Amino acid sequence: MKKVYADLTPLLSKPRTAKALADPSGFGSSSTLASGTSVSARTDDSALRTSKAWEVAIGPGKSLPMQMFMAWMSGTSVSIFSILITGMILMSPVRAILGVNQTFAPLLRAKGARVDVSMQKLVFVAINVAGVLFGIYRLSIMGLLPTTSSDWLAFIPPKQYLEYSS
């Protein structure tokens, strides 16, 4: 098979003349490229991480409606399916809260200044807490929370009568 080679270096090293053909985007002069990249890379990276962190933080919030829909679909009766769904709704935010540092750790691994993601973490935890609360709400509407007098009925001791009758 015949191989074709094209040397594109002359294009890059072509002296800049007025009204010369504009570089296609991404093909600016090397100096501009070099200097521009080094400055904006540092600033963009931190913003990127921050925005990425925000994305991570509000991520669970996006899945909440889905979970609510699934919960609604599974109903409030006590069945294996609804209990599994409720368990998932409850456990995944709890697991997420416990693993909050690991979740944000990749975003902190920058060479330069540290990105402050505490706000994001806070929002992340808050949203997951909302998830937990929703799970607890689910438990309560399913009647699985010991919140009423009937839940403690079995622990009421029988009355002892002081008298004895025939």
Partner 1 sequence: MKLTGGSLALAVLALGSSLGGVHALFPDEAGRIDWYRAQIGVAKKMQAHTHNDTAYIYSITQRNAVAALRADDGQIAWRQVLSEPVGTLLARDDRVLTLSSSSSDAHVHVWDAGSGALAWGFSQAAGGGARTATFVRDSDDVIAVLGDELVRVAPGSNTPAWSLALNGTAAYKRIVVHGKSVFAIGNVASTRQAKQQLHVVEVDTASGAVKTQYSTAEGVSLGGGSLVVLESREYGAYLVWRESDNIVWHIHRLGMTSPMWEIYHAKMVEVALMPPDMLTSTIAELDTDPGLNDATPRFTLTYTRDGTQKTVVVEMYRTGDKLEMRKIASFTNSAAVAAGAQRTVAAVRTSADGVAWRVRGGAKHSGDVVYESSTYGGVTHAALVFVGSAPRIVVQTRGGLLAALAGDSREPVWTRDESLAHAADMALLALPPPASSAEHAAKETDPSVQPSAAIRFVLRWVATAQALVESVTSGFGIGSGGHGGEHAAAPTEGDHFGFRRLAVFGSTTGVVAAVGSQDGAHAWAHYLKTRVERVFITRGSQALSSAAPIVVAVGRTRNATVVTALDALTGKVVSRDTLPFAYTRVFELPASDPVSGQRLLGFAVAEPTPRLAVWPATVEAVRALGAANVPLYFELGDGAGSTAVQGFRAEIGDDVAEPWLAAQPAWTFDLPAGETLISTSRYEDGAFHTALQGRVLGDRSVLYKYINPHVGALATQRSAGGIGVYLIDRVSGRLLHAAEHAGAVVSAGHPFLATLSENRVIYQFWQPGAPAGYVTAVVELFESDQPDTRDERTEVSSLDLRLPSVVATAFVAPEAATALGTTRTGSSITTRDVLFALASGKLLALPDAMLDPRRPMHAPTKDEQAEGLVAYSAPLPLDPRRVLSHSHAVAGIAHVRSAPTHLESTSLVAAFGLDVFFTRTSPSGTFDQLSPSFSKANLVITSLALVAGCLLGAPMVRRKLTNRAWA
Note the residues at the interface with partner 1 (CB under 8 A). Answer: 77-78, 142-144, 146, 148-151, 153-154, 156-166
Shortest Cβ 14–partner 1 spacing (Å) = 55
Please state at what angle helix 100-108 crosses helix 118-141, rounded to 10 degrees: 150
User: Which CB atom, from 26 or from 158, has the smaller least distance to partner 1?
Assistant: 158
Residue (86 or 128) nearer to partner 1, CB: 86
d(CA 74, CA 70): 6
Nearer CB in complex with partner 1: 5/164: 164
> Half-sphere exposure (CA, 13 Å, Cβ side) for 127?
20
Rounded to a whole number of angstroms, the minimum distance from the CB of residue 3 to partner 1 is 43
Q: Closer CB to partner 1, residue 5 or residue 161?
A: 161
Closest approach of Cβ 161 to partner 1, in Å?
6
Instruction: For the CB of residue 139, give the shortest distance to partner 1 in the complex, in Å.
Output: 9
Q: Residues, the chain, total?
A: 166
CA–CA distance, 62 with 79 (Å, rounded to integer) = 26
Q: What is the CA radius of gyration of the chain?
A: 31
Residue pair 71/131 in contact (Cβ under 8 Å)? The answer is no
